[in-house]
């Protein structure tokens, strides 16, 4: 009797062993990654959907590091306490090694300082723009665990200044969203305008959720600028621009990428946006960008127009590529270190879709490096986890937006260098 039990136990062990993690095949196991995004906010939900879209594509390619990927999504409510708690729960209870998010810098920062850096977890944000992260990293306090795919603050203000200079505007008024991103933009664009010899007549903060922006708009109008620069989000942007135009303000507008939205175009009206030029970081001149747009359109039935969508996609994709490169059961710092292997400018180019991920798997398995050609360009991080990217100048069209001018990464870098 006893012998039988021992045999049974030994047999069970022998049968059970190959199923243990590490030797498992794709789809037999699940690796969790965490996402803390403001899904209770209207513009936060598409950002989360886009991240999930990237995860689905990777799972279609058989998952990353030998396992299927499950993205555990938590809402931040744009409340730092709630976001930090959610991040801590994901790290401690779900055991995630990779955290996507958050959107607001005021939420991402305490997560970084009190959860991911102490916990040795890689954090990749799609949209946090504050220059404070660069400072923190320069002080060596992020341990190389922090990345963000939001390149637009520095690149964007430089290209905005180029538009003003090319158009020959002599004076520009600035309206900016009164948050960390808007304040950074206002400061950077003022410096860049000064560098190309354009006068900034005034710089006016726009607070969220006001019923009217007449006072702010009047203040800007009184300085009689030749053009106006808008670093706003669609909701406030629409309200402010409507008042601006109804009070007789100029239609010469320069727009930050946050206004590259169908909502803004439809609510303001195409007839007022003929002279408006926008800036954005650009997709690379490759098939992968088209593949992303096509796949996105097929999945969601619309163009990926909206703040942070392309950035969110790239953040998720790069994180998963890095997991693949780092191999099974890798720790957070190991995955963070592998990011360089998947964003190597000399690596094999891979596209941003299932086929691209499959191709990347083969190259990485052979010990090679890949260059991820993402929805925001050939993403390449510097030592502080910041990205530079090619840029595009765009205008609104009947169907969405169309490109006016493309600036390659070397051109962007050269132009930024010429400003300093």
Q: Measure the CA–CA gap between 101 and 83, rounded to whole angstroms.
A: 9
Among positions 124, 134, 180, 284, the unique one binding another protein when judged by CB under 8 A: 180
- Distance of closest approach, residue 205 Cβ to another protein, in angstroms: 7
Q: Is 267 in the site for another protein (CB under 8 A)?
A: no
Contact in structure between 391 and 412 (CB atoms under 8 Å): yes
Instruction: Give whichever of 27 and 207 is closer to another protein, judged by the CB atom.
Output: 207
Q: Binder to another protein among 86, 190, 198, 231 (CB under 8 A)?
A: 86
Near another protein in 185-244, by CB under 8 A: 205
- Build a one-symbol-per-residue string for 20-39: x at contacts with another protein by CB under 8 A, - elsewhere: ------------------xx
395/82 Cα distance (integer angstroms)? 38
- By CB under 8 A, the residues from 101 to 130 that bind another protein are 104-107, 109-110, 113-114, 117-119, 130
Which CB, 138 or 166, lies closer to another protein?
138
CB of 119 to another protein, least distance (A): 8
Q: Which of 179, 216, 280, 314 binds another protein (CB under 8 A)?
A: 179
**165 burial type by CB count under 10 A (0-12 exposed, 13-18 middle, 19+ buried):** middle
**Whole-angstrom distance, CA of residue 206 vs CA of residue 292:** 34
Question: Which tokens is 92 given?
Answer: 């401690």
CA dist 248 and 278 (Å) reads 21
Among 8, 27, 30, 95, binds another protein (CB under 8 A): 95
Place of tokens 């530079």: 388
Residue of 182, 234, 249, 347 that binds another protein (CB under 8 A): 182
Distance between CA atoms of 229 and 218, rounded to whole angstroms? 15
Say what angle helices 180-195 and 409-419 make with each other, to 10 degrees. Answer: 70
Looking at the DSSP assignment, which residues form a beta bridge with residue 34?
72, 99
Q: Please give the DSSP secondary-structure letter assigned to residue 64.
A: B
For residues 401 and 404, what is the distance between their CA atoms, to the nearest angstrom? Answer: 10
Residue 45 found at the interface with another protein (CB under 8 A): yes
- How far is C-alpha 200 from the chain's CA centre? 29
Cβ nearer to another protein, comparing 61 with 84? 84
Residue among 88 and 242 whose Cβ is closer to another protein: 88
**For residues 256, 258, 260 and 264, what is the CA-based torsion angle, rounded to 10 degrees?**
-110
Residue 99 engages another protein in binding (rule: CB under 8 A): no
Q: What is the rounded distance in angstroms from the CA atom of residue 244 to the CA atom of residue 233?
A: 16
Token pair in block for residue 113 = 């300082």
Minimum distance of another protein from residue 377's CB (angstroms): 26
**Count of residues in contact with another protein, rule CB under 8 A:** 51
Considering the complex, state which of residue 9 and residue 60 has its C-beta at the smaller distance from another protein: 60
How far apart CA 69 and CA 61 sit, in angstroms, is 11
Return the number of the residue (117 or 289) whose C-beta is nearest another protein: 117
Among 43, 50, 65, 74, which residue interacts with another protein (rule: CB under 8 A)? 74
Q: What angle do CA 382, 185, 109 make, to 5 degrees?
A: 60
> Over the Cα atoms of the chain, what is R_g?
23
Rounded least distance, CB 403 to another protein, Å: 31
Shortest Å distance, C-beta 78 to another protein: 7
Side by side, the strands of the sheet bearing 348-350 are 348-350, 370-374, 377-378
Give 91 or 350: the residue with its C-beta nearer to another protein. 91
Query: Is 243 in contact with 228 (CB distance < 8 Å)?
Result: no
Residue 355 is a binding residue for another protein (CB under 8 A): no
- Comparison of 131 and 250: residue with beta carbon closer to another protein: 131
> Which is closer to another protein, CB of 103 or CB of 196?
103
Supply the DSSP symbol for 343: B
Answer yes or no whether residue 178 interacts with another protein by CB under 8 A: yes
Which of helix, strand or coil describes residue 370?
A: strand
Residue list 129-148, contact with another protein (CB under 8 A): 130-132, 135-136, 139
| Phi, psi dihedral angles at 94 (to 5 degrees) | -95, -15
Least distance (Å) between residue 141 CB and another protein: 9
| Pick 25 or 40: Cβ nearer another protein | 40
- Binding region for another protein (CB under 8 A): 38-41, 44-45, 48-49, 72-75, 77-82, 84-86, 88-89, 91-93, 95, 104-107, 109-110, 113-114, 117-119, 130-132, 135-136, 139, 178-180, 182-184, 205
């Amino acid at each position: 009797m006893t012998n039988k039990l021992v045999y049974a136990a030994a047999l069970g062990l022998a049968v059970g062993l190959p199923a243990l993690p590490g030797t498992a095949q794709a789809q037999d196991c699940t690796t969790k990654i965490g996402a803390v995004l403001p899904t209770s906010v209207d513009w936060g939900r598409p950002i989360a959907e886009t991240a999930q879209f990237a995860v689905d594509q990777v799972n279609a390619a058989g998952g990353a590091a030998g396992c299927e990927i499950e993205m555990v999504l938590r809402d931040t409510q744009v409340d730092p306490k709630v976001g930090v708690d959610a991040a801590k729960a994901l790290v401690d209870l779900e055991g995630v090694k990779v955290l996507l998010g958050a959107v607001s810098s005021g939420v991402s920062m305490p997560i970084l300082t009190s959860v991911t850096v102490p916990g040795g977890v890689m954090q990749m944000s799609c949209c946090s723009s504050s220059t404070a992260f660069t400072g923190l990293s320069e002080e060596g306090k992020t341990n190389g665990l922090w990345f963000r795919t939001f390149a637009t603050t520095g690149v964007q203000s430089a290209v905005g200044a180029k538009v003003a200079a090319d158009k020959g505007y002599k004076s520009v008024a600035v309206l900016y969203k009164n948050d960390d991103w808007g304040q950074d933009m206002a400061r950077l664009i003022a410096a860049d305008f000064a560098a190309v010899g354009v006068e900034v007549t005034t710089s006016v903060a726009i607070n969220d959720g006001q019923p009217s922006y007449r006072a702010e708009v009047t203040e800007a109008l009184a300085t009689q600028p030749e053009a106006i620069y808008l670093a706003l989000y669609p909701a406030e942007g629409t309200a402010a621009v409507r008042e601006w135009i109804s009070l007789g303000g100029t239609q010469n507008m320069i727009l930050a990428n946050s206004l590259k939205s169908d909502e803004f175009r439809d609510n303001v009206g195409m007839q007022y946006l003929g002279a408006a030029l926008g800036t954005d970081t650009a997709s690379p001149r490759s098939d992968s960008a088209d593949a992303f747009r096509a796949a996105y359109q097929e999945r969601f039935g619309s163009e990926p127009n909206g703040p942070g969508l392309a950035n969110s996609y790239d953040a998720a994709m790069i994180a998963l590529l890095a997991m693949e490169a780092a191999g099974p059961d890798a720790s957070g710092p190991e995955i963070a270190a592998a990011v360089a292997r998947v964003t190597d400018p000399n690596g094999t180019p891979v596209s941003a879709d299932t086929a691209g991920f499959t191709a990347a798997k083969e190259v990485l398995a052979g010990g090679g490096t890949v260059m991820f050609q993402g929805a925001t360009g050939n993403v390449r991080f510097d030592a502080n986890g910041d990205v530079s990217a090619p840029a595009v100048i765009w205008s609104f069209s009947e169907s969405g937006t169309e490109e006016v001018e493309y600036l390659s990464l070397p051109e962007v870098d050269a132009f930024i260098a010429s400003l300093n």
